[in-house]
Structure 1
Amino acid sequence: MFQIQVKNVSRLCNAKPIVTVNGMFPGPSIYVREGDQVLVNVTNHAQYNMSIHWHDLKQFRNGWADGPAYITQCPIKNGHSYIYNFTVTDQRGTLWWHAHILWLRATVYGAIVIMPKEGTPFPFPQPHRETNIILGEWWNQDVETIVTQANKLGLPPQPSNAHTINGKPGPLFPRSEKHTFAMEVEFGKTYLLRIINAALNDEHFFAIAGHSMTVVEIDAVYTKPFTTKAILIVPGQTTNVLVKADQSPKRYFMAARPFMDAPITVDNKPVTAILQYEGIPNSVLPILPQLPVSNDTKFAMSYNSKLKSLNSPRFPAKVPLQIDRHLFYTIGLGINPCPTCQKGTQVVASLNNITFVMPKIGLLQAHYFDVSGVFRTDFPDKPLAPFNYTGAPLTANLGTAMGTGSVSCLSILQLNWSYKTLIFSAESHPFRLHGFNFFVVGSGIGNFDPKKDPAKFNLVDPPERNTVGVPTGGWTAIRFRADNPGVWFMHCHLELHTTWGLKMAFVVKNGKSAEESVLPPPKDLPPC
């Protein structure tokens, strides 16, 4: 049972009302087993309309449970409820849930932990204990007020006042000693950290002073284990790491700081939590880790190159080898006229020169009931107007950002076809595809070379993800099989860019049988 409630919370010496689930910040963790059917009854008591996204449970044939507002459902109004109904299939590991409307994700989020079926062991040493580490952000003011004011000006909202670990900024921030997450460990034991980046607008490096981490899973998919001093995790992603408590018994900082290698200002002050050995008093000062510098592109590219699917007989990597259709997507930023904005213009973002128009009815509902005038189905497979796709500085990337009138523009996919998508960007963007996992078969800096680069693709054991970071001034190639009928959202997971229109949706057509078709909508589907 999820009760959406407003509660007064204090951080950084500032108290304010925030939207929570069951009065918790972060919200409650959900623990399930692979194969479980899950029903979550969400009741909204807040002044905001609300929807919850389950990021990313493979809800085959039940897109009504996905949750993004005006994509698969209209939001839940104040005083109303909606039951999300999904089955956990072929997944194990760490995912998460969050609000998927406005900027309410700033406080409405939590972990989903999928345990293997009874009697099925992990493909790595059994940890002594598990701990959820959720990276987030905190604003001293009301987030929705900040966004509304920025939109009136036609400018970006102000950045957050602090980053958080499990809702707490840590002792490096003023009067925040009591708002510090700490975990106690026993010497010689191994611990599993389930790390989630729930931050709205920042990619993060994460490290633990004095300790190495062994990466064993990303986005609820097991990986070939490798050891690293730090990880890179972008908004929307999850990473599981094993940490052995084998250092001198002391207190050690766990810390995260933003990664940004484009000329954009970010808050570099690290958020910290504490890893504390059993029996060590709190008076012992913790040691800070050596995090990569904020623009360390070399580390970011090297780290991502080490991520590989396990691809074992038990956990095969089913990479599409034959491609039915090629998609070429470019990310652009532009300036559009805005008569209602104070400056007369506003920043907009686009995919293939198209800025997404949010509908007033759920796209899945419009698709299922064949409601006309809600969306078009001619989203282009390549940009409508060429521009400097990977140009730097960002001013070289101001491609034309065209609206689509009063309707959304969607792309039609055939069920069970395989697709390859190339995504180009001048600034780092974490891109998220709902409804499917995909394989990241290649990535690079600069423009894509169609003759040389495909020969470097990893088609054997590429990482399988639901969110991928597109490098600054570069490209990423992904492959996926469209085996899930319905309407599925694709968007940048930086809330700022999503607000500016950096999003689109796919319609995956029904198959020939009822088993390959969208289910009828539930009776309690929220009205628009």
Structure 2
Amino acid sequence: MKFFTLHFIGLILLCSILPGQAAVRRHKFVLQESSHTRLCTNKTMLTINGQFPGPTIYARKGDLVIVDVYNQADHNITIHWHGVKMPRYPWSDGPEYVTQCPIRPGTKFSQRIVLSDEEGTLWWHAHSEWSRASVYGALIILPEKRNSYPFPKPHAEVPILLGEWWNSDVQEVMEEFLASGGDPNVSNAFLINGQPGDLYSCSRQDTFKVTVEFGKTYLLRMVNAVMNNIMFFKIANHNVTIVGSDGAYTKPLKSDYITISPGQTIDFLLEANQPPSHYYMASRVYASAGNFQNTTTTAIIEYKGNYTPPSSPFLPTFPDFNDTIASHNFTNKLRSLSNKKYPIEVPLNITNTLFFTLSINLRPCGNNSCGGPFQERLLASVNNLTMQLPKTDILQAYYKGISGIYETNFPINPPLSFNYTQNFVPRELWRPENGTDAIVLEYNSTVELVFQGTNTVSGIDHPMHIHGYSFYVVGSGFGNFDKNEDPKRYNLVDPPLMETIAVPRSGWTAIRFRANNPGVWFMHCHFERHVSWGMGMVFIVKNGKGPNEQMLPPPLDMPKC
């Protein structure tokens, strides 16, 4: 098999692997400010090794990857390895003031990325303020050397990273919307592999292209690195076969479109079976509420052969931008591969039952001066608690027994029951409380967590992500969750194994996982504006009794606050 070495990937350090033996792979990440041009605009932005998107890391299942992160910019930074469980080692997980203090300018941190059962496409990104708008890249985990894919060997593999571009400084965008209390300014374009595509005249010559041969099959590994939107994706005149998501294999699913949430990855096979020509692969937003960028980003599938290419490639048609049913139906069709070689272990006897409401909120401003509805400040919450990040990271406080940094009384149910999905929720229910709270879980306990969307202020989807864990998505639906009836329809046979799941607008999603990874783990919405507004909380998983059931000690070069 060959791998496309794309212009944005740069040098990839690959080590040989001895049979039956995991490798240690080492990379150097240099955070720096570098100049990049899109949409006829040149600006300086934070990058890793000067690349946008950043370098792709290849590893094999079970490897140890060491990334030496050098901060040569004038911003604090953290790097999160999205979807990597980091067994017993939360120290390199990355969320700012949750598991680490930021890497300050002029300092270095060697992050140990401990791979375990992940296999497929994951990614890495900055996890401090809004730096991930430009600091991100793919993390591709190949099967162990002795194993192959559970699908026919593709002719080649291509990473596809969906991102976006602001003509202005994204840090200023963040600071302005947090100061105003309103919604952030939308970006100027979406991107495929760093390029907006040839629907933008200034970028036509740089449009990303994939060259294919008729009759051959290609594995495309897609990451949604967009900041605030779920995305639809299609390839004109072609169906695709989904074979993986979030670092786990799925039953093959044929579809003419894909819905992918921020933080999520989708692996799919493209069979080059159409008349040789040029075809657009394209992506546009799915948005059930809020402001959004309503343009289409494109790349080109270019067949080899002797033919006259069209003056304009064929462009796919999309579901409507607010088609919640289309978005939910795609995600709801995913199933775990669930066979002898790739078994699943859905927890059946649940010891912790959690019910989390996900809400957009409002809080009054002085002199009614904020930019949100009714001149109030927009916030977000889980169980009506808006998370306040401390200035000492929670993991250090937990490990060292430092008091006063966080509480352990996060509510396992919302403080008040109401009709969460009615069209108009009374305004007195829009007010959140502040908190830095965690839920403590016993080692090896089993968890069922139901996410319930609410329509306070405005109902919207929420792509929820849990650090340190993958989870089984056992059910979802619209309206208010019915604890007596809805569990009867759970899929406990082959539910998808994911680490980011979109909770549908005016609906609910149920997940299950086993708390067997000790440490401090962040849970949050992956819409960047929502986590900035406070839609997050923390799980603390206690040590088990055995020596291999306990959190490992911190590295000596752990960043200090």
Q: 1:429 to 1:521 in 2, by over 3 A?
A: same
Residue deviations 1:291-311 (CA, integer Å, cap 9, x gap): 211122222232122100010
2:30 aligned with 1:3: yes
Aligned 8 A contact 2:419 2:480 in 1: no
Q: Which residue pairs with 2:448 in the alignment?
A: 420
Assess, with a 3 A threshold, how the Cα gap between structure 1 residues 137 and 37 changes in structure 2: closer, same or farther: same
Cα distance between partner residues in 1 of 2:441 and 2:420 = 25
Structure 1 residues 252 and 395: CA distance shift in structure 2, 3 A: farther
1:273 deviates by 0.7
The match for 2:246 among 200, 215, 219 is 219
Name segments (4+ residues, structure 1) moved above 6 Å: 394-397
Inter-partner Cα distance in structure 2 for 1:178 and 1:358? 44
Select which of 380, 384, 387 maps to 1:356: 387
- Structure-2 separation of matches of 1:392 and 1:345: 20
Amino acid at match of 1:424: Q
What is the CA distance between 1:396 and its match in structure 2? 6.8
Aligned partner of 2:294 among 252, 259, 268: 268
| Partners of 1:390 and 1:397 within 8 A in 2 | no
Q: Report deviation, 1:152.
A: 1.7
For the 8 Å contact 2:157–2:218, the answer to whether it is kept is yes
| Alignment partner of 1:12 is 2:39 | yes
CA 1:361–1:250 in 2, change beyond 3 Å: closer, same or farther?
A: same
- Give the total of aligned pairs: 524
Residue 322 (structure 1) shift: 0.7
- Read off the aligned partner of 1:185 and give its amino acid letter: V
Amino acid at match of 1:413: L
Q: Deviations over 1:192-246 (max 9, x none)?
A: 0001000000001101001110000010111110110001000000000000101
8 Å Cα contact 2:478-2:508 kept in structure 1:
yes
**Which residue of 237, 248, 269 maps to 2:264?**
237
Question: How far has the Cα of 1:345 moved from its partner?
Answer: 3.7
> Residues of 2 paired with 1:330 and 1:526: CA distance?
34
- Equivalent position to 2:235, from 208, 215, 219: 208
Q: Which amino acid aligns with 1:460?
A: V
Are 2:347 and 2:446, in contact at CA under 8 Å, matched by a contact in 1? yes
Q: CA deviation at 1:87?
A: 2.4
Equivalent residue letter for 1:431 = M
Q: Secondary structure at the match of 1:175?
A: helix
Q: CA deviation at 1:362?
A: 1.2
Query: Any idea what the Cα deviations from partners look like across 1:139-172, whole Å, max 9, x if unmatched?
Result: 0100111111122211111011111111110111
2:331 is the alignment partner of 1:290 = no
Equivalent residue for 1:402, pick from 413, 425, 433: 433
Q: Does 165-174 or 352-361 show the bigger shift? A: 165-174
The alignment's TM-score, normalised by the length of structure 2, stands at 0.91
Structure 1 SS opposite 2:202 = coil
Q: CA deviation at 1:261?
A: 2.6
Deviations 1:346-400 (A, max 9, x none): 1111100100011101111100000011000000000113344223358879532
Q: What is residue 487 of structure 1 aligned with on the other side?
A: 520
Q: Secondary structure at the match of 1:375?
A: coil
1:139 and 2:166 aligned: yes
Counterpart of 1:519 in structure 2 is 552
Q: TM-score, normalised by structure 1?
A: 0.97
Candidates 20, 23, 26, aligned match of 2:53: 26
Change in Cα spacing, 1:324 to 1:336, as seen in structure 2 (3 Å) is same
- Contact 1:418–1:482 (8 Å) recurs in 2: yes
State the one-letter code of the partner of 1:485.
Answer: P
Matches within 5 A, 1:434-445: 434-445=467-478
Which letter does structure 2 place at the counterpart of 1:463?
A: P
Q: What letter matches 2:92 in structure 1? A: A
From 394, 398, 416, the counterpart of 1:385: 416
The 3 A distance-change label for structure 1 pair 200 and 3 is same
Give CA-to-partner distance per residue, 1:30-55, whole Å, 9 cap, x none.
00011211110000011110000001
The 1:188–1:145 alpha-carbon spacing in structure 2 relative to 1, beyond 3 Å, is same
Query: Are residue 508 (structure 1) and residue 536 (structure 2) matched?
Result: no
- SS of 1:256's equivalent in the other structure is strand
Equivalent-residue separation in structure 1 for 2:115 and 2:179 (angstroms): 42
Instruction: Note the residue ranges of structure 1 that are not aligned, 5 or more in a row.
Output: none
How many Å separate the matches in 2 of 1:411 and 1:265?
A: 33
Give the 3-state SS of the residue equivalent to 1:136 in structure 2. strand
Task: Check the 8 A contact 1:208/1:255 in 2, yes or no.
Answer: yes
2:486 matched to 1:453?
yes
Aligned-residue offset at 1:266: 2.2
| Partner SS state of residue 204, structure 2 | coil
Alignment partner, residue 333 of structure 2:
306
For residues 522 and 181 of structure 2, what CA distance do their matches in structure 1 show? 25
Distance in 1 separating the partners of 2:311 and 2:62:
45
Q: How does 1:32-431 map to 2 (within 5 A)?
A: 32-262=59-289, 264-279=290-305, 284-339=311-366, 342-343=369-370, 345-392=376-423, 399-404=430-435, 408-425=436-453, 426-431=459-464
Does the C-alpha gap of structure 1 residues 397 and 500 become closer, same or farther in structure 2, counting only changes over 3 Å? farther
Counterpart CA distance in 1 for 2:418 and 2:132 is 33
Following the alignment from structure 2 to structure 1, what is the Cα–Cα distance between the partners of residues 253 and 58? 26
C-alpha displacement of 1:494 = 0.1
Counterpart of 2:535, as a letter, is L
SS of 1:177's partner is helix
- State the Cα RMSD in Å: 1.6
Aligned CA distance change for structure 1 residues 215 and 51 (closer, same or farther; 3 Å): same
Q: Distance in 1 between matches of 2:434 and 2:32?
A: 36
